Amino acid sequence: MRVVGIETEYGIVDPDEPRANPILMSSRLVQACRSWAGDRTARWDYGGEDPLQDQRGFRRSRAQATPELLTDAPEFDESAGEVTLRRRRGSWEDPAHLNAVLANGARFYVDHAHPEYSGPEVTSAHDAVVWDRAGDAIALAAAQRYAEHEGSQVHLYKNNVDGKGASYGTHENFLVRRSTSFDDLARRLTPHLVTRQVFAGAGRVGLGQFGEAAGFQLSQRADYMEAEVGLETTLRRPIVNTRDEPHATRDRYRRLHVIIGDANTFDVATYLKIGTTSLVLAAIEADDERLDTLALAAPVEAVQTVSRDLTLRERLALADGDTASALEVQRALLEICRSYATDAGEAAVIARWEGVLERLATDVFSAAREVEWVAKLQLMGRMRARHASPEAPDGLPWHDARLAAMDLQWSRLGDGLATRLAAAGQVERIASDEEVAAAVATAPQDTRARLRGGIVAARPDVVDAAGWSTVVLDRETDHGHLEVVHLDEPLAARHPLLDALMAG
C-alpha cells in the first residue's frame, strides 16, 4: 500500500472585475469554505514544515531561498498591512483565514495567488480520483458561499496556465522508501514523467510559455519545465523535485513531490497518472535494472517534444544512443511493471494502462473518453471545421481567440466543457458520484487522514490546529496548554487518545 495524494491550485477570476486581486479573492474563498463547513474545520499547524531541506543531502539557506519556497512562513497583505504571525513550537502559524483543515482530512488554503485543495492521504489510484473530485466539489461549494457573502461571483478553473505566461501546479505526492537512492530514483523515474503525458496530458492551445506560437499540445505544464532536478517549484521548474519534506518518519520515508503533472478533469487521466507512477516507483524500489535502458539523452527537451507531437510517433534520443517514441517507452514501462502489480487494484491499473496505450497507438480518437487532451482536441477540431471555407480549408487557425477561450472554458468548475461532456455520458468515470459525495465530508479510513479529519469533524472544540503529521489539542478551559499529537506513520489510522476523544 503506497500512500499518495494530490494537490490542486485553481485558477480564480472575478468575471465582473478581471483585475480583482486574486490573493484577496483566494483568502475570502477560504473564509467562505470555513463558513460552508461550519465548525468542522481547524487551522493549519506548520510544526512539521521543512521546505528548504534537499533530497540530495543539503539544506538551502533562507537568505538564498525565493519566497515561494518559504511555505513554513506564510505572508498575506489584505489591505497594505502585514499579517501578524505568532510563534509556536519553534514554527510559524498563520491566521485562520488562510487555511482550513477539513473533515475529510484535506487542507483548503491560500497558496500565493491561488486557492489550493490538498487532498488527504490515500492508498490507491481509485481513491486518489475520489478525493480529488471531492476537492472540486468543495471548491464549488466554497464559491457558492462566497457569492452569498460577498455579493459577487468567482469562477474557478482546474487548469495550469493563465494565458499570460504564468503556470500554477497540480502536484502529486508519493511515499517512497528512504533506503532507495535518490539519484537512482530521479534517473529511473524521469523517462516515465516525461512520456506519461500521452495519457495524462490535459491539452493546451498555444506553444511556449506565453502561447507565443500557434498550435495545440498534449500538456499544459510541458513548456514550463526547465531543469532535470531541483528544489524550486515556480522558477526553473524541474522534472524531479528535490524537496525533502516527508511529513512522516524521516529515516523510513521520502515524499516524492511531483510537479510536472497537469490538472486533470478526466477520471482516467488522474487514475493512470497516480497508478502508473506508483507502479514505476515499485520497480525502482526493487532496483529493477531494466529501467536503465529507458534513460533519455535530453529529458528537458524531450518533455516539449512529446507534448507537441500529436502523432505520438516522434523519436526520442535515449542515453544509450538508441531512440524510442513516447508510446514505446510507456509500453516498456508497462511490461516491467507487470511484475509489481500485487493486488487487484494494481492489476486494474495495468489493464487500463495497457488498453489506453493500445487505443492511442491504433486510433488516437478512440481514446477520447479516457484521455483528456484527445477529447479536447476532438471537440476543438469540430469547432475549427465549422468555420472551414475555400479560403481556410482547415477552418479556424490555432491562433484564433475563440479557441483560446474554449481552452479556458474547458476547465471551469461546475459548468465547463469537460463537465458538460461528462454529464452527457461522453467521459468514462472511475469514481461514482456517490463515492465523491461521501468523500466531501469523510476522510479515507485506511490512513492517518481518518484521525485528522475525524477529530476535526467530531471534536473541533478541542482542536487548536492540525498538519499532515500533527494534531494540536487545546483541552484546557483557560487555553494555556497545547498538546501535540504526532502522526508520523501515514498508514496508522488509529490513535488511543484521538480515538477516545472522537468516541467521547
Bridging pattern class, strands 11-13 and 99-102: unpaired
Which among 128, 22, 72, 504 has a CA at the least distance from the CA of 247? 72
111 is catalytic: yes
Bridging pattern class, strands 463-466 and 470-473: antiparallel
Q: What cell does 170 get?
A: 497540480
The CA dihedral of 153, 158, 160, 165, to the nearest 10 degrees, is -20
| CB distance 436 to 450 below 8 Å | no
Question: End-to-end alpha-carbon separation of the chain, Å?
Answer: 31
Q: What cell does 243 get?
A: 524537496
Helical segments of 413-495, H only: 417-423, 433-441, 449-458
DSSP labels, 242-291 = -B---SS-TTTEEEEEE--PPP--SHHHHHHHHHHHHHHHHHHHTT-GGG
For the beta carbon of residue 126, count every other beta carbon within 10 angstroms.
Answer: 18
From CA 137, how far away is CA 131, in angstroms rounded?
10
- Is residue 25 packed enough to be buried (19+ CB in 10 Å), middle (13-18) or exposed (0-12)? buried
Q: Among residues 94, 111, 132, 407, which one is catalytic?
A: 111
The CA dihedral of 189, 191, 196, 201, to the nearest 10 degrees, is 100
From CA 365, how far away is CA 298, in angstroms rounded?
29
From CA 112, how far away is CA 463, in angstroms rounded?
26
| CB distance 94 to 74 below 8 Å | yes
Bridge partner list, 110: 115
Which among 234, 235, 239 has a CA at the least distance from the CA of 219? 239
Helical segments of 308-416, H only: 326-337, 344-362, 372-385, 401-410
Query: Which helix (H) or strand (E) element contains residue 154?
Result: none
Compute the 3-state secondary structure of the chain and give helix, strand, coil in percent, each to the nearest 5: 40, 20, 40
Question: Which residues are marked as active site?
Answer: 111
